[in-house]
Amino acid sequence: MLTCREAIDRLSELESRDLTPAERRETKRHLVGCEDCLPYWRSYRTTVALERAAYSKEDPADLEIPEALVREVLASARTVPAFLASTGYVVHIFWGIAAAPLLTFWLR
Amino acid sequence: MTAEGRKERGSEQELVLLLQSGDELAFERLVREQGGRLLAVARRFLRDEEEARDAVQEGFLSAYRALDRFDQGSRLSTWLHRIVINACLMRLRSRRRRPEEPIEDFLPRFQDDGHQVRHPTPEWEGSAETLLAQSQTRAIVREAIDRLPDSYRGVLLLRDIEELSTEEAARSLGVTENAVKIRLHRARQALRGLLEPHFRRTASC
């Protein structure tokens, strides 16, 4: 027989169907038969449904990107030279560092 | 895929090609189309407007640098979404710890024999559908989510709101799948504890 603590500890797995059929039966048997766990289970399921709906009707104004942020994003992207905006940028930096001593020697 | 879905996918493929060729107008279109939604996501994680904007900016910049590596295995919006979430999680990890209410305050308590300390457990006023019909409910729930400690709120948002799998959430957070499951359950229990004073059925006179 499960204790209240054990049954409530399984609630998340019950919701996500991660329990074996036997565990599921055992858990539900306790929940349905316990005057404290049954209302707790109901309110737990209500909580999960409420949080999933919490952001489903956001104010359209809250879903707009402020113009200032658009400008900041575009400005920061422009600081990335086209040739650096690629996986090769590390290679370019490496060759730049490697070429420096050669350039110094040649300029002497 | 429906005809509309194919048309949308085609349009996205065109956008990706333009982006990968360095088309600035295409990038601006991407920022305007996706930025609002991504900012809303960042606000939920970071609870700070300035940090949320910074995370979105970092996310777009990371995406801009990595565009040539986007292989269209997922939707562009999904890819961006993940980048911004990772930017938010990195900020949460490096953030100086703010005073937080201990989650234990909102969890159920048990006696040594495993029974709940609280007896009887009150019923709530109604189902989620009933409660959502009330205008204040969503605001109450969001405020309660905001009160959760960062590490628990993060898991709740990733799993229940952003709908990442346990495996994806574990990878994003750098923890085990078991840790994600435990934190999610505790976060849900704590949220329930925070919501109970608002929604429990009051005794009728």
Q: Give the B window 134-163 contacts with A, CB below 8 Å.
A: 137-138, 141-142, 145, 156, 160-161
Q: What is the per-residue pLDDT for A73? A: 95
Q: What is the per-residue pLDDT for A94? A: 54
For residue A89, name the pLDDT band (cuts at 50, 70, 90): very low
> Which residue of chain B is at minimal alpha-carbon distance from A7?
B114
Distance from CA of B7 to the nearest CA of A (A): 25
Q: Which residues contact B16 (CB under 8 A, 6 or more apart)?
A: B67, B70, B72, B76
| Number of Cβ pairs < 8 A linking chain A and chain B | 163
Confidence (pTM): 0.82
- Per-residue pLDDT averaged across B93-108, rounded? 83
Q: What is the per-residue pLDDT for A82? A: 59
Least confident of A21-30, A95-104, B186-195: A95-104
* B22-48 pLDDT per residue, tens: 899 999 999 999 999 999 999 999 999
Cβ contacts (< 8 Å) between A87 and chain B: which residues? 68-69
CA distances from A107 to A93, A98, A99, A101, A102 (A): 21, 15, 12, 10, 9
Contact A64 B36 (CB under 8 A): yes
For residue B74, name the pLDDT band (cuts at 50, 70, 90): confident
Residue B162 has pLDDT above 70, yes or no: yes
Beta-carbon neighbour count of residue A74 at 10 Å? 16
Residue A72 has pLDDT above 70, yes or no: yes
ipTM of this predicted complex? 0.85
Cβ contacts (< 8 Å) between A64 and chain B: which residues? 36
Contact A51 B138 (CB under 8 A): no
pLDDT over 70 percentage in chain A: 74
B65 contacts chain A (CB < 8 A): yes
CA distances from B198 to A56, B36, B64, B126, B141 (A): 20, 31, 45, 12, 10
Q: Count, in order, helices (H) and strands (E) of chain A.
A: 6, 0
Q: What is the mean pLDDT of chain A?
A: 82
Distance from CA of B1 to the nearest CA of A (A): 25
Distance from CA of B18 to the nearest CA of A (A): 14
Distance between CA atoms of B109 and A5, rounded to whole angstroms? 8
**Which one of A36, A58, A70 has the shortest CB-CB distance to B40?**
A58
* Domains delineated in chain B: 3-94 (1.10.1740.10), 103-204 (1.10.10.10)
B171 contacts chain A (CB < 8 A): no
Least confident of A50-54, B7-11, B73-77, B187-191: B7-11
Q: What is the per-residue pLDDT for A108? A: 59
Q: What is the per-residue pLDDT for B1? A: 72
Distance between CA atoms of B190 and B182, rounded to whole angstroms? 12
- Per-residue pLDDT averaged across A68-83, rounded? 85
Q: What is the mean pLDDT of chain B?
A: 89
Least confident of A28-37, A95-104, B64-73, B101-110: A95-104
Cβ contacts (< 8 Å) between B110 and chain A: which residues? 3-5
- Per-residue pLDDT averaged across B118-124, rounded? 83
- Per-residue pLDDT averaged across A84-108, rounded? 56
* B54-72 pLDDT per residue, tens: 999 999 999 999 988 888 7
Q: What is the per-residue DSSP string for B76-94? A: HHHHHHHHHHHHHHHHHHH
B67 contacts chain A (CB < 8 A): yes
For residue B161, name the pLDDT band (cuts at 50, 70, 90): very high
B42 contacts chain A (CB < 8 A): no
Q: What is the per-residue pLDDT for A74? A: 94
Measuring CA to CA, which residue among B99, B107, B100, B102 is closest to residue B190?
A: B107
Helical H runs in B114-165? 128-132, 137-147, 150-156
Contact B119 A69 (CB under 8 A): no
